[in-house]
Amino acid sequence: MGILTSAVDVRSDAFRANRAHYDGLLATLRDRLAACTASGRAELVARHHARGKILVRDRIDLLVDPGTAFLELSPLAAWGQYDNGLPAAGIVTGIGLVAGTPCVVIANDATVKGGSFYAETVKKHIRAQEIAEQNRLPCLYLVDCGGANLPQQDKVFPDRDHFGNTFHRQCRMSAAGLPQVSVVFGGCTAGGAYIPALSDQVVMVEGNARIHLGGPSIVKVAINEEVDGETLGGAAMHTRVSGVSDHLAADEPQALARLREIVAELNLGRDLAAGAAPVEAPLYDPAELGGVVSHDRRIPYDVREIVARLVDGSRFQEFKPEWGATLVCGWARIHGRPVGILGNNGALFSESSLKAAHFIELCDQRAIPLLFLHNITGFMVGAEAERGGIAKDSAKMVYAMSIARVPKISVLVGGSYGAGNYGMCGRGFRPHFLFAWPSAELATMSADIAANVMLELRRGNVKAAPPTDDELAAIDRAVRDQYGEQSDPYYATSRLWDDGLIEPAQTRDVLGLCLALVSTVPDAGPRTPVYRM
């Protein structure tokens, strides 16, 4: 396997300018992550602590194995929405090792809107369950949930992919042999009650945890019964009387310790290092990636420079290097795991599309996961491209990618526009994981092209009077403002169009964890469903 040689001069003015620009992007990312991971308002955090409760991310720290990584997913969900009053969409999801077993953790943040579910909360919860099912991971629910947010009921309750779908997935994963285990820390009302009720095992914390389909106020209105919350659905009652809970914990640390004990006996041992080759660091520092990516989108860079800073030993066996030059394809290893990489070096022509289809088929034949590095304006347009068959050749690439059975991971490095996003395995094609850098842009087309298209449409409108210069200027400004806002990476991650924004220097380690998960998925044999009687 050949070794990539970098042509980047890290002492050049261009590199320093790129890095300075990217350092600004990273400062913004870190500031916003800090804001979103600090939970709710200070007075709500203080009230949470006064009740003897631990903050949600501190619970996760106590749960996962000491010294191991926790890959938090979509921490910037709901950013910029609800006046930034819904940090992380009120829920923390991610993947971590618990008693040596990789697990998906889904944890409500009661300091944010009482842990109730908004549209983004539901979407984030379902996405974590989807990752668990796809990678055959247990789901651990740290429940502190007020159920559906009532003013948002039309956005969280009735539809197929709304709150009810979380329970549907929970049941089906349990039946498929993927354990569903809950620890209840606070009040779980209405729909929130079904998260533990549908779990295979339940732990409740005495004094704070409650489960009831209808709280005391609803009971009073519905059947005119006066009852306090503890009597109605407290931890002691549910553990000793109803049997809804299987274990009673004196406090939160004890509850999390019991959860670790349960996971240790799930009989789901999984060696994430199995089958991996010895790991080599890249020859070039991943910290240089910020200086590699051009701060001006009009200035191209070679995607091989990114690959050289991601893969083991900077070793890369390139496929068809002399043909279809606008798409770089080849095999490498990341943290010892084999991977087939497709990276953009320009628009996708017929040759590069056919090259991609061929390469994807080879990886599928050899059971090698695929990694797509997006920086794509789209497939080539124009009379020559159409006569050359770009419509069918681009379709071949999309078809090959869509039916490939191997795991697929996407990273949005730069622009990801139009059908190019589709060919490079965008969200609509269900990659196992999709992350973005803070330099990413996601849209049907760039703001420049969109503005010009809309101006041409207006000029060509034969039913209207000829446009004035002021009207054209207003159209241009409106389109650029819209595309500028909606193609921003924070707009995308807020709406969970990716699994999170990550720093370029962290990409290799994030990919290593994801490849370890997708490369060690056990076969799903026959399972016996768990019926809670």
* Single-letter residue type at 23: D
pTM metric for this prediction: 0.94
pLDDT at 79: 98
pLDDT at 376: 95
**Residue pLDDT, tens place only, 479-515:** 999 999 999 999 999 999 999 999 999 999 999 999 9
* Single-letter residue type at 519: S
pLDDT at 527: 65
pLDDT category at 297 given cuts 50, 70, 90 is confident
Residue whose tokens read 């210069």: 469
**Residue pLDDT, tens place only, 167-183:** 999 999 999 999 999 99
pLDDT at 166: 95
pLDDT at 531: 66
Residue whose tokens read 């002691």: 236
pLDDT at 425: 98
What's the alpha-carbon Rg for the chain, to the nearest Å?
A: 25
| Average pLDDT, integer, range 200-226 | 88
Report the alpha-carbon distance of residue 346 to residue 418 in Å, rounded: 14
3-state secondary structure of 528: coil
Mark out the alpha helices in 316-431 (DSSP H runs): 350-365, 383-387, 390-403, 418-423
Percent of the chain exceeding pLDDT 70 equals: 99
Of residues 203, 204, 226, 207, the one with CA closest to residue 215:
226
**Residue pLDDT, tens place only, 232-264:** 889 999 999 999 999 999 999 999 999 999 999
pLDDT at 446: 85
pLDDT at 462: 73
Report the alpha-carbon distance of residue 524 to residue 522 in Å, rounded: 6
Please state, rounded to an integer, the average pLDDT across all residues of the chain.
94
pLDDT at 454: 92
| Average pLDDT, integer, range 457-476 | 88
Beta-strand runs (E) in 232-390: 247-249, 317-319, 327-334, 337-344, 370-376
pLDDT at 335: 98
Report the alpha-carbon distance of residue 480 to residue 474 in Å, rounded: 10
| Average pLDDT, integer, range 107-113 | 95
Sheet containing 247-249: order of strands: 70-73, 91-98, 101-108, 139-143, 180-184, 201-205, 247-249
